[in-house]
C-alpha cells in the first residue's frame, strides 16, 4: 500500500542527473511512471537505475505524471517548456521541477500560467550516472528556488532524496551556478594541467603524487578558508614565481598555451586576495605582479590610459 502523499513521477531526460534523481525519488517510494531516453547511453542508464520503468514519449510522460522532473541541458530547458505549453500539455496542480543550476522558476512561466507548480531543484554535485551517485546524494545540498508558498514542497522533495535543501533567490541563480562551476569544473582543468606537466617531467602516476596533496589542500581550504593558503605567491617569493612563469612560457611555446594562461590568471588572483587580507605587503604584491610578467607581457592587453 502506497504511503500518503506519494506521487507519480515522470523523468524527462535520462542523463546522469535525471536517472539518479529518479532512482532517489523511487527509493522514497514515489512511483516513477515513465522516463524519456533517446540515446543508447541514456536508455542503458534508465534500465540500470530505473529497472521496469517504461521509456515513453515526453508528451505521454507529462500527461500521466503528477511530478514532472525536467533533467535536460540548460539551453534546452526553455524551448522544451514552451513547446509543451503550446501543445497544452501542462496541467493544473501538477508539480514541475527542473534541475538546472542557472535558472530559477522564471523560465517555467508557461507552467505557472497553466496552473501547475514550478520548482527549481539543482543538486550541487557531479554525477557519474551510476548507482554510487545515490550514496553521494546523502552528502549533497540542493539549491532550491520556488514561490514562498511552494518552497516547503521543494524542500520536502530534496529531503526525501536524502539531501539538504538550501534556498537560493531567483535573482541569484546565475551567480550561484557560476560559483559551483568555477569551483568544480575549473578544478578538473587545474588537475589535468598539473598532471600533464608531471607526466612531461617523467612522473608515471601523477594521480598518486597529486592525490594526497590536493585532498589535503581541499580539506584545509574548506575548514580554514584562505588562511590555509601556502606557496610562493602567499610568501611573496618573487624569484620562484618568476621561474615558474618563465618555465611555463617555454613549455607552452610548443603546446596549446592554456597552462601558462591559467597559471598567470590564478597567480594574479591569489596575489590580490592575499594582498587584500594583509598576507602580502604592497611592495610584495607589486613584486609578484612584475614576476608574472606585468600587464601586456603575457599576451594580455595592457590597460588603456584615460
Task: Indicate the pairing of strand 141-145 with strand 117-123.
Answer: antiparallel
User: What is the pLDDT, as a whole number, of residue 129?
Assistant: 87
Instruction: Please give the domain boundaries of the chain with CATH numbers for all domains.
Output: 8-168 (3.40.50.720), 175-291 (1.10.1040)
Closest by alpha carbon to 176, among 141, 149, 218?
141
- Rounded to an integer, the average pLDDT of 40-58 is 94
For residue 4, pLDDT beyond 60: no
User: What is the pLDDT, as a whole number, of residue 10?
Assistant: 98
- Rounded to an integer, the average pLDDT of 282-294 is 91
- Confidence (pTM): 0.88
- Rounded to an integer, the average pLDDT of 282-291 is 95
Tell me the Cα Rg of the chain: 24
DSSP assignment of 66-117 = SEEEE---HHHHHHHHHHHHHTT---TT-EEEE--SS--SGGGHHHHHTT-E
- Which pLDDT band holds residue 3 (cuts at 50, 70, 90)? low
Higher-confidence position of 88 and 256:
88
φ, ψ of residue 166 in degrees (nearest 5): -130, 120
Kind and range of the H or E run holding 121:
strand 117-123
Q: What is the pLDDT of residues 242-264, one digit of tens each?
A: 999 999 999 988 776 799 999 99
User: What is the pLDDT, as a whole number, of residue 37?
Assistant: 92
Q: What is the pLDDT of residues 195-226, one digit of tens each?
A: 999 999 999 999 999 999 999 999 999 999 99
Closest by alpha carbon to 76, among 100, 105, 47, 44?
100
- Which pLDDT band holds residue 294 (cuts at 50, 70, 90)? low
Q: What residues contact residue 9 under an 8 Å CB cut-off, 6+ apart? A: 22, 25, 26, 30, 31, 32, 33, 65, 66, 67, 68, 69
For residue 171, pLDDT beyond 60: yes
| 80 CB-contact burial (10 Å; exposed 0-12 / middle 13-18 / buried 19+) | middle
- Rounded to an integer, the average pLDDT of 13-17 is 92
- Residue 193 contacts residue 262 (beta carbons within 8 Å): yes
User: What is the pLDDT, as a whole number, of residue 253?
Assistant: 82
C-alpha cell at position 219 = 580539506
CA distance 205 to 244: 22
- Which pLDDT band holds residue 5 (cuts at 50, 70, 90)? low
User: What is the pLDDT, as a whole number, of residue 255?
Assistant: 72
For residue 2, pLDDT beyond 80: no
- Which pLDDT band holds residue 25 (cuts at 50, 70, 90)? very high
Q: What is the pLDDT of residues 51-87, one digit of tens each?
A: 999 999 999 999 999 999 999 999 999 999 999 999 9
Q: What is the pLDDT of residues 99-142, one digit of tens each?
A: 999 999 999 999 999 999 999 999 999 998 888 899 999 989 99
CA distance 242 to 92: 64
User: What is the pLDDT, as a whole number, of residue 254?
Assistant: 72
CA distances from 22 to 4, 87, 159 (A): 19, 25, 14
Arithmetic mean of pLDDT over the chain: 92
For residue 265, pLDDT beyond 60: yes
For residue 98, pLDDT beyond 50: yes
Q: Count how many residues are written for the chain.
A: 306
Q: What DSSP character marks residue 127? A: -
**Number of CB atoms found within 10 A of residue 286's CB:** 15
- Rounded to an integer, the average pLDDT of 225-245 is 94
- Residue 28 contacts residue 51 (beta carbons within 8 Å): no
Amino acid at each position: 500500500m502506497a504511503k500518503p502523499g506519494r506521487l507519480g513521477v515522470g523523468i524527462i531526460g535520462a542523463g546522469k542527473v535525471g536517472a539518479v534523481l529518479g532512482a532517489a525519488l523511487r527509493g522514497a517510494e514515489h512511483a516513477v511512471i515513465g522516463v524519456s531516453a533517446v540515446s543508447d547511453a541514456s536508455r542503458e542508464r534508465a534500465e540500470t537505475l530505473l529497472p521496469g520503468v517504461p521509456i515513453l514519449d515526453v508528451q505521454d510522460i507529462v500527461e500521466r505524471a503528477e511530478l514532472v522532473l525536467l533533467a535536460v541541458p540548460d539551453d534546452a530547458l526553455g524551448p522544451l517548456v514552451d513547446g509543451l505549453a503550446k501543445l497544452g500539455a501542462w496541467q493544473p496542480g501538477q508539480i514541475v521541477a527542473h534541475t538546472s543550476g542557472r535558472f530559477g522558476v522564471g523560465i517555467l512561466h508557461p507552467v505557472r500560467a497553466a496552473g501547475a507548480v514550478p520548482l527549481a531543484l539543482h543538486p550541487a554535485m557531479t554525477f557519474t550516472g551510476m548507482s554510487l551517485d545515490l550514496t553521494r546524494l546523502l552528502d549533497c545540498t540542493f539549491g532550491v528556488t520556488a514561490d514562498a508558498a511552494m518552497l516547503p514542497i521543494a524542500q520536502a522533495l530534496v529531503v526525501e532524496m536524502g539531501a539538504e535543501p538550501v534556498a537560493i533567490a531567483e535573482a541569484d541563480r546565475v551567480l550561484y551556478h557560476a560559483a559551483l562551476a568555477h569551483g568544480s569544473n575549473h578544478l578538473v582543468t587545474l588537475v589535468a594541467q598539473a598532471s600533464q606537466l608531471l607526466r612531461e617531467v617523467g612522473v608515471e602516476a601523477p594521480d598518486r603524487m597529486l592525490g594526497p596533496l590536493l585532498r589535503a589542500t581541499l580539506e584545509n581550504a574548506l575548514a580554514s578558508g584562505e588562511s590555509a593558503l601556502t606557496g610562493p605567491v602567499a610568501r611573496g617569493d618573487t624569484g620562484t614565481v618568476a621561474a615558474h612563469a618563465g618555465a611555463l612560457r617555454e613549455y607552452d611555446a610548443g603546446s596549446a598555451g592554456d597552462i601558462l594562461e591559467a597559471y598567470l590568471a590564478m597567480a594574479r588572483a591569489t596575489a590580490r586576495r592575499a594582498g587584500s587580507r594583509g598576507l602580502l605587503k604592497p611592495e610584495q604584491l607589486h613584486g609578484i605582479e612584475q614576476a608574472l610578467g606585468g600587464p601586456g607581457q603575457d599576451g594580455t592587453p595592457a590597460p588603456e590610459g584615460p
